[in-house]
């Protein structure tokens, strides 16, 4: 059983509380990423207190020890400890033992998992209200990252957005591949050293795929694709768009031809899903279009996007009432 300490603030002092971590088989798995797993820790109640569960990010034991993953976890822990924003997952603790654990605020579910669940249950796309809520909350989080922290998230996608309740609040998570920005919102190569844009190709902006200047607007493109995900209920660039394409390419998902077909779509704006009403989804589509402009300079800043989405959400709620 692993153990680490986390500072607990009292009125006058800061005390260290020892947290006992049971072996992985006794923890509920919440998710996973490259080289890491995210587990739920249900903490035992203390006298007169109800203690909320934590999400623990730890190195995946199935992956050989890797300094890259270890360093990412340390960087993320340092960032989370310095950040404070309602739409960014909260820091709880970080172990300094041989087995590294990052303790975070536990949220209900990732947006990516919600999308998968809707597909399994044959449900309708997310509503305009839900998409606008994601837009407002996550754009607000990105504005904080880009300006106050001067960093690029670097891996925006549905799986890095956490949702509580019926979209009561959305929070951004996973800060292991962030990149520094200068005062103009441009990737600061000098401060970054050997660090490069990591991301996930299907969500990556044109300047990442084809080469170009990386700026704060590079986070805006994949957020726009996340709005598309909530309408299409699939990851971007995973659909066959040309019905005349050779059937062998469609069937052999692991073939070179099939991979080439999909990879050629990376960095482009996917078409509006056929089942989406442009009238019913006018506001989410407007945000999707402006966020996926090919030129980064044509995309809105995170602040402008947050304001626009909040205004749209307010009008949407008034219409519903």
Assess whether 155 carries a catalytic annotation: yes
pLDDT 10s digits, 295-308: 999 999 999 999 99
- Mean pLDDT along residues 114-142: 96
Asked if residue 57 has pLDDT above 90, the reply is no
> What fold is seen in the domain 2-105?
Phosphorylase Kinase; domain 1 (3.30.200)
Least confident piece of the model among 51-65, 186-200, 231-245 = 51-65
pLDDT 10s digits, 265-313: 899 999 999 999 999 999 999 999 999 999 999 999 999 999 999 999 9
Domain with CATH 3.30.200.20 in the chain: 2-105
* Contact of 204 with 177, CB cutoff 8 Å: no
- Mean pLDDT along residues 225-230: 98
pLDDT 10s digits, 249-259: 444 455 555 55
Q: Which CATH number fits domain 109-320: 1.10.510.10, 3.20.20.70, 3.40.50.720, 3.90.1150.10?
A: 1.10.510.10
What is the rounded CA–CA span in Å between residue 80 and residue 101?
13
pTM assigned to the model: 0.80
For 83-131, the three-class secondary structure string (H helix, E strand, C coil) is CCCCCECCEEEECCCCCCEEEEECCCEEHHHHHHHHHHCCCCCCCHHHH
Tokens of 65: 């020890």
Strand, coil or helix: 44? coil
Domain with CATH 1.10.510.10 in the chain: 109-320
Asked if residue 208 has pLDDT above 80, the reply is yes
Phi, psi (degrees; rounded to nearest 5) at 44: -65, 140
Tokens of 34: 């490259």
DSSP string for residues in 4-27:
EEEEEE-SS-EEEEEEEE--GGGS
Mean pLDDT score of the chain, rounded to an integer? Answer: 81
pLDDT 10s digits, 28-49: 555 556 655 555 555 555 555 5
Q: Which one of the listed residues 78, 108, 137, 155 is annotated catalytic?
A: 155
């Amino acid at each position: 059983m692993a153990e680490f300490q986390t500072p607990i603030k009292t009125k006058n002092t800061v005390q260290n509380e020892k947290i006992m971590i049971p072996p992985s088989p006794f923890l509920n798995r919440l998710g996973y990423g490259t080289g890491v797993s995210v587990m739920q820790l249900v903490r035992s109640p203390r006298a007169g207190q109800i203690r909320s569960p934590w999400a623990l990010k730890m190195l995946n034991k199935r992956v050989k020890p890797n300094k890259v993953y270890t360093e990412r976890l340390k960087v993320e822990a340092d960032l989370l400890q310095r950040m404070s924003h309602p739409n960014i997952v909260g820091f709880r603790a970080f172990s300094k033992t041989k087995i590294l654990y990052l303790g975070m605020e536990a949220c209900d579910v990732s947006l990516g998992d919600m999308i998968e669940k809707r597909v399994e249950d044959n449900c309708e796309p997310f509503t305009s209200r839900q998409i606008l809520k994601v837009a407002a909350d996550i754009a607000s989080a990105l504005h904080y990252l880009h300006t106050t922290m001067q960093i690029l998230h670097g891996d925006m996608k549905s799986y890095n957005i956490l949702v509580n309740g019926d979209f009561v609040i959305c929070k951004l998570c996973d800060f292991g591949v962030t990149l520094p920005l200068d005062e103009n919102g441009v990737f600061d190569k000098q401060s970054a050293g050997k660090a490069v844009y990591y991301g996930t190709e299907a969500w990556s902006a044109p300047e990442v795929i084809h080469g170009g200047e990386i700026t704060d607007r590079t986070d805006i493109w994949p957020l726009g694709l996340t709005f598309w995900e909530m309408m299409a209920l699939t990851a971007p660039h995973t659909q066959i768009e040309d019905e005349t394409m050779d059937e062998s390419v469609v069937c052999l998902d692991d073939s070179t031809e099939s991979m080439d077909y999909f990879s050629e779509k990376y960095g482009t704006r996917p078409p509006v899903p056929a089942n989406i009403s442009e009238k019913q989804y006018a506001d989410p589509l407007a945000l999707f279009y402006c966020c996926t402009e090919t030129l980064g300079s044509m995309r809105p800043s995170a602040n402008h996007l947050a304001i626009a989405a909040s205004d749209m959400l307010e009008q949407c709620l008034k219409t519903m009432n």
